[in-house]
Every structure is written in C-alpha cells, then in structure tokens.
Amino acid sequence: MATTNLTAPPMAVPGYGKRTAPDQAPRSRGGFAHLPTREASIAAHIDRLPDGAAVDIKTLAKELPAYGQQAVASALKALSAAGHLRRVREIAGEGRTQWVTRSYFSRTARGDAWWEAFLAGSVAGDASGAAPQEPQAPPQRQPPSEYSPAYIALATLGCSDSRLTLSAAECASLEGLAAEWFTRGVTPLEFARILTTGLPGVIHCPGAFTRKRLIDRLPPQPLPASYAETQPPARWIMECTGCGIPGRP
C-alpha cells in the first residue's frame, strides 16, 4: 500500500472537489480487496478524504509519492471502470455556460445504471451520503433514427485513442465543425488520424481539446479544377515540427 501524506489534504475550489455518493457500505479494512494493489491503495486514500478535497491527478500524485501522475491517471480510469468513481462534466450553476469536471466517489461499487440514475436525480440523497430512497430507472431515450457521418466520426474517436472519448452532448455540439471537414474532402480515416496524432499524455477536457483541434487543423477548401490544371504540381511540403503532419502548424 502507498504511504500517504499525513498533513491536512489540499482542498479544491468550493464545489469542485470530491463528492461522496450516498448509501455506501460501512468502511472496512477489506473494502477494496477486490481491486489490484495500486487501485486499492488509491481508492482507500480517496475514501478517507473529506468532501471538497482535491482529487485531481496532480494533487493525488503529490499525496501518494509511491505513484507518479501516469500511474494515478491509469488507476482512476480503473476505479471508474470498477464503479467506484465517476468524473462528470456539468454546467457550473444556473444561468451559466461554463462546463466543469466534478468527481463523485462511492466506497460501494456501482453499475452504470445506478450512476446514471443518481446523476439524473432519480436516486435520493445528497452528495454527503444521506440515506437514499429506492432508485428509479432513468428514462429511456429514443436513439435518433440516423447519425450523420460527422457525428459518427466524433463518436468513434475514442476507438482510435481513448483520450478523445466524447460524450453524446459533446458530439452533438461539435458535429457542425466536423461536418465542415467532410465538405472539404477529408475521409473518416484521415479525420481520425489528424485529430489523434500528437496528443498530450493526459487530456482533462476531451470536448474542449477536440473543438480546438477541429478549428486549428481545418483543411483548406479544395481548389477549383481549372486552377489545378494551370499550376505546376507541388514539389515539396514541410512537416509541422510539433505533430509531424504535413502542412501548417
């Protein structure tokens, strides 16, 4: 097990730190025995933190010197898959448009259906752990009859690189920008390659990161056929020194 820092834990900006899910099992020595050693150690550390404590990757790596940022990031993904953690992008308050990422932690592993019901407000009890009522199944959304090529390309970016896994809301928001790429002759394979090449190690906001790439790397409009016939073929094209893709940085 990793050695934790015994000083007071650093607190996040109010409203942005750890939020405890309701109706958890009592804390016990073997509460995370079903997890690998690294994940169990980090889960036990987060479980002991008070609500509002900072649980971002950098802070946890400082609090747990046995693990670096990459190890912490991998462990948090594993805890999410195991049902103990959910990082959720939400609107920051009424009448505002700023999106923030909040972290919900449950000592008791939960399935996807429970988390969806909890986040939709169908599970009673606040984030401090008040006793809930019987959870209700979230309303079933009817899928659209047809997705556009742009939406499909965005929704499948996570298959090329999991760091660009987007939510349904993010895909819908970015669909117009992506559609412009396809009007300029980009194929789905080229689209995925260009957007996933040269990614940083950790991406905290995949939606915002993808929006910036869609704007910054938008290909030029195709030249008219008459122009191509009068111009000599290009002899060379320089690669970007940052990402290695031919074209402007």
* Low-confidence residues of the chain: pLDDT under 70: 1-7, 12-16, 90-100, 122-145, 225-249
Q: pTM score > 0.75 for this model? A: no
Question: Which tens digits make up the pLDDT trace of 19-66?
Answer: 888 888 888 888 888 899 999 999 999 999 998 888 888 999 999 888
Task: Concatenate the DSSP letters of all residues of 52-117 into one string.
Answer: TB--SHHHHHHH-TTS-HHHHHHHHHHHHHHTSEEEEEEE-STT---EEEEEEE-SS---HHHHHH
Q: Which two tokens stand for residue 98?
A: 């700023």
Please name the residues in contact with 78: beta carbons below 8 A apart, sequence gap of 6 or more: 35, 36, 39
Q: Which domains does the chain have, with CATH numbers?
A: 18-119 (1.10.10), 149-223 (no CATH)
DSSP strand pairing (18-20 vs 85-91): unpaired
Q: Which two tokens stand for residue 12?
A: 């996040």
Residue 11 DSSP symbol: B
- Looking up tokens 């290695």 gives 244
**Does residue 119 contact residue 112 with C-beta atoms inside 8 Å?**
no
